[in-house]
Amino acid sequence: MKSPENTAYEGRARLEAHTSLDSLYTSILQAAFLENDADDDAMVRSVLSAVVLAANPLPPSIIAMLLSFECNVVRRILELIQSLLALPEDPNHPIQAFHKSFADFIIDPVRCTDTRFYISSTYHARLALRCFELMDKSLEKNMCSLPDHVLNSEVKDLQKRAEESGICGALEYACRWWYKHLIATKDDVTDVVAALTCFLERKFLFWLEVLSILGAVGDAARALIMTVKWLNKVCLD
């Protein structure tokens, strides 16, 4: 039987390609934000975290609402690195990295060695907190002013009512995906657990109502199951 060929050179070629790509990403980021101060860098990391950590691609307008930034500020940051992103002209259309390797790079401290741009798991915690803050501020009983004893399917203008009451955009994202950021939180969980407790005590029923209007009640069961598993893990740790 013929022995397999030596793969050392192949492995080295992959490593060198990997290193070259990391250098390219670092160079683009450093050139784009060369004159930033510490506050600007923090804002850049927040925006980038919403791009690479979001459960689904978000438009600049929703990123701005989720982070409580001005939309033009978010847009300006993204435009500076549009060689890395598919950035539509319409701020209400979702954006995403051209290639998954960028997200893999920027969340890996071994690869992204410039701490100005490294996105740690702390940013999952921050996004979870922003989701809880947004839901706490926005969720109310019967937001769509639906009549009593009527099925959602019987309300002909349900979508219009939902949009007019603010059940769209950033609030919809928060209601659907807060748990994704929660369960990805690994470090100091004190603030996140406190926000989760407040949410469950004050807004739980209103959250279920919104998910029902969105036709996403199944998300509630999944969110709660994953949350219980995460709580058991962090409590044991």
Q: Which of 71-80, 127-136, 149-158, 214-223 has the lowest mean pLDDT?
A: 149-158
> Taking 60 as the threshold, does the pLDDT of residue 7 lie above it?
no
Q: What is the pLDDT of residue 200?
A: 96
Q: Which domains does the chain have, with CATH numbers?
A: 8-106 (1.10.10), 122-236 (no CATH)
Residues with Cβ within 8 Å of residue 155, at least 6 apart in sequence: 144, 146, 147, 161
Tokens of 156: 């002909």
CB count within 10 Å of CB 137 equals: 11
pLDDT per position as a tens digit, 84-137 = 998 888 888 999 888 889 999 999 999 999 999 999 999 999 999 999 999 999
Strand spans (E) along the chain = 85-86, 96-97
* Mean pLDDT score of the chain: 86
CB 210 within 8 A of CB 175: yes
Please state the pTM of the whole predicted model. Answer: 0.85
Give the integer Cα–Cα distance in Å for 178 and 39. Answer: 26
Q: Torsions phi, psi of 204, nearest 5?
A: -55, -50
CA distance 90 to 100: 22
Fill in the DSSP letter of residue 153: G
Mean pLDDT lowest among 91-105, 162-176, 183-197: 162-176
User: Residues of 170-194 as b/e, b for ≥16 C-beta within 10 angstroms?
Assistant: bbbbbbbbbbbbbbbbeeebeebbe
